[in-house]
């Protein structure tokens, strides 16, 4: 199993509940590779010093969230050159029309109209290389990333059709709970660092978390009751999803628990549940960030392990396409 998150901003509750928390629970089922997708971040201009800092901090947060580096391979994408080497080969087996149809390219082109670069266009090919290098069975992704796994599968099948059984065809794995957490102030859009007031970061203080939930959008109706209805009560439904994911309670159980209570009481309860979940993570991450020697050791070891596996796939690909070994 393999996945990664861009260190383009601080990790948040959506990353944790939708991805990292589930990764940590799969360590006994799969051989797991998780990386900081720093190569992907530069399709949008980054401040170099900040990117370096966030990459290391994200590694610390991965570990604090339960990704034991003794049981998972944790590494920085840019430390394994095979990612970009395979991406170039796969670029030559990916059709222009396929990339033109990618939703994320259209969205980011509109958002960053002054920087529509080639990397933004070929981003899915690098993502395909990220995946196929490690021959994974599954790629845990959110609903919004399914399209990237689909084009990865198309590229792999096309390559295999020409050269034989080179790549394993991976399956997307989408979590049943917490797979998509929406912004506290924008319950119609997924939680994002670009809307900080509605985004709960893993390193937020308890007071900041409580403040953000206090301001969370509920609904404009006069019902003032806790009822799961994604269409008519998206704000309440989002809060219920967060609460359900962290407590394990079903939606009917949550409705019964807060029957007769109002939005204020419910928002406070969700906030305290989130504070309890994130406080140990924040404290452990702070401890790890202060131990740079340990983090250096983790990412160096991770890059060595990842390079060994990735190198085997790359050599096979190079031989198939005719590069002299």
Concerning whether 108 is annotated as a catalytic residue, the answer is yes
Do residues 55 and 36 make contact, with C-beta atoms less than 8 angstroms apart? Answer: yes
- Longest Cα–Cα distance of the chain, Å, equals 73
DSSP annotation string for 269-295: HHHHHHHHHHHHHHHHHHHHHT-HHHH
Annotated catalytic residue, options 190, 212, 233, 267: 190
Q: Where are the alpha helices (DSSP H) in the chain?
A: 13-15, 21-24, 38-41, 48-64, 82-91, 96-100, 103-111, 118-132, 146-163, 206-214, 234-247, 251-257, 263-289, 292-321
Q: Which residues pair with 73 in a beta bridge?
A: 33
Residue 308 C-alpha from the chain's centroid: 24
Q: Which of 28, 42, 39, 29 is nearest to 4 (CA)?
A: 39
Residue 51 C-alpha from the chain's centroid: 17
Annotated catalytic residue, options 106, 168, 193, 316: 193
Concerning whether 193 is annotated as a catalytic residue, the answer is yes
Phi and psi (nearest 5°) for 8?
A: -85, -5
Annotated catalytic residue, options 108, 212, 233, 267: 108
Question: What's the burial of 283, exposed, middle or buried (CB within 10 Å: 0-12/13-18/19+)?
Answer: exposed
Would you name the residues annotated as active-site residues?
Answer: 108, 190, 193
């Amino acid at each position: 199993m393999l996945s990664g998150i861009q260190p383009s901003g601080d990790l948040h509750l959506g990353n944790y509940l939708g991805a990292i928390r589930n990764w940590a629970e799969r360590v006994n089922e799969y051989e797991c590779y998780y990386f900081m997708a720093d190569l992907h971040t530069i399709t949008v201009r980054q401040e170099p010093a900040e990117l370096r800092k966030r990459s290391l901090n994200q590694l610390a947060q991965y570990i604090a969230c339960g990704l034991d580096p003794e049981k998972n391979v944790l590494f920085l994408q840019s430390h394994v050159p095979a990612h970009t080497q395979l991406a170039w080969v796969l670029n030559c087996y990916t059709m222009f029309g396929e990339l033109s149809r990618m939703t994320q390219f259209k969205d980011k082109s509109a958002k960053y109209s002054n920087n529509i670069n080639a990397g933004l266009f070929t981003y899915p090919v690098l993502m395909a290389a990220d995946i196929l290098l490690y021959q994974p069975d599954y790629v845990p992704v959110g609903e919004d990333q399914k399209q990237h796994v689909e084009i990865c599968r198309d590229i792999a099948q096309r390559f295999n059709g020409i050269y034989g059984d080179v790549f394993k065809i991976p399956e997307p794995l989408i979590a049943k709970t917490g797979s998509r957490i929406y912004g506290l102030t924008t319950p119609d859009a997924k939680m994002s660092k670009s809307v900080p007031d509605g985004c709960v970061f893993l390193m937020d203080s308890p007071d900041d978390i409580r403040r953000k939930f206090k301001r969370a959008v509920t609904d404009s109706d006069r019902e003032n009751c806790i009822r799961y209805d994604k269409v008519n009560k998206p704000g309440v439904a989002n809060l219920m999803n967060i609460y359900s994911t962290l407590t394990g309670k079903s939606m009917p159980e949550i409705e019964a628990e807060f029957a007769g209570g109002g939005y204020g009481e419910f928002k406070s309860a969700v906030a305290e549940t989130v504070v309890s979940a994130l406080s140990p993570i924040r404290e452990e991450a702070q401890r790890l960030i202060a131990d740079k020697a340990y983090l250096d050791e983790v990412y160096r070891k991770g890059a060595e392990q990842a390079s060994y596996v990735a190198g085997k796939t790359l050599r096979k690909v190079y031989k198939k396409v005719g590069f002299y070994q």
